[in-house]
Structure 1
Amino acid sequence: MLDLSAKWLSTIHTALYRATGGKIGRRLVNNDMLLLTTTGRRSGQPHTVPLLYLRDGGRLVVIASWGGRDYPPHWYLNLVQHPKVTCQVEGESFEAIAAEASERERETWWPRIVEAYHGYAEYQSRTDRQIPVIFLDRQRPVESNPA
């Protein structure tokens, strides 16, 4: 039931974010949110999820916590297979290349991540897996299709 509720909320959040260019849905739990679109590892179809993100200079940082479940979120498995992703930050969309943080980078970033959203410490305590930290390196803007 929790997964269905989370999926429903994610779908609504994504729709509102897209429809308003991020005016609705760009902030949650006092943090910035983006839309991440990955290519399905089995279907080859695009899949979009709203995620909390942090900035590291020109790149973005997202966390594959899935609420501390013992298995990673589908979007993470997708980007491991297909690291070229699309991000929407407010009204701007751009391509990015996803890369998992090294152990050293994760050690540096984890305290910052927990400071930004304390829930991540609880999520990590719920699971034996190490929650991945992902860097999104901006590549180029996504061209919009004129109407």
Structure 2
Amino acid sequence: MTGDTPDRGHSITAAAQAALYESSEGQQGWTRKVDGRDVPCVLLSYRGRRTGAVRSAPVIRVADEGRYILVGSLGGADVDPWWVINLRHDPRLRLRDRGRVFETVAEELSGSAREQAWSVATHTFPRYEDYQSRTGRLIPVFAAPIVL
């Protein structure tokens, strides 16, 4: 995506970050300021379920044993981010982690698999616990295998 339509809940800053991340081939835009510190992000590119257009969203980087864990927190909002809704419709995506880019298929986790991934995610980014406490929804968690 080139930044013309931000994802649900993401500010123009997130759309600009996605555009910068992609246009610089991962050399810029791969971190996001959270509580005054730079937090690494990966860039998800996926198809919109209604238009089929490619959309992109930066998400906090959580790597775990050959996969990325994707957390649809939206800062604790009571709605899921658009990328979650779109991945539920079509789980295929392109993932960029700085200079590494690959196609993969995400899987939404549930039960003990979700709890294990959630534990890794909150260890990596403790604010996820705060985000979960702000909302009545269970924050969705996906796993995206690393494909070399």
Equivalent residue, structure 1, for 2:22: 18
Quote the Cα distance in structure 1 between the aligned partners of 2:46 and 2:78. 21
* Gap regions ≥5 residues in structure 2: 1-6
Quote the Cα distance in structure 2 between the aligned partners of 1:133 and 1:88. 18
Matched residue SS, 2:106: strand
Quote the Cα distance in structure 2 between the aligned partners of 1:5 and 1:85. 20
* Gap regions ≥5 residues in structure 1: 141-147
Could you list the per-position Cα deviations for residues 84-131 of structure 1 after superposition, in whole angstroms to 9, with x for gaps in the alignment? Answer: 111111122211101011210121222322222122111101111100
Alignment pair present for 1:120 and 2:128:
yes
Q: Which has the higher helix share?
A: 1
Quote the Cα distance in structure 1 between the aligned partners of 2:143 and 2:129. 19
Structure 1 stretches of 4+ with a deviation exceeding 6 A read none
Matched residue SS, 1:6: coil
Give the TM-score, by structure 1 length.
0.84
> If you compute each CA radius of gyration, which structure gives the higher value, 1 or 2?
1
CA contact (8 A) 2:9 2:81 kept: no
Quote the Cα distance in structure 2 between the aligned partners of 1:79 and 1:126. 23
Change (3 A) 1:4 1:129: closer
CA RMSD of aligned residues (A): 2.0
Give the TM-score, by structure 2 length.
0.83
Matched residue SS, 1:12: helix
Equivalent residue, structure 2, for 1:96: 104
Quote the Cα distance in structure 2 between the aligned partners of 1:80 and 1:110. 18
Equivalent residue, structure 1, for 2:145: 137
Quote the Cα distance in structure 2 between the aligned partners of 1:99 and 1:107. 14
Alignment pair present for 1:71 and 2:79:
yes
Quote the Cα distance in structure 1 between the aligned partners of 2:134 and 2:27. 33
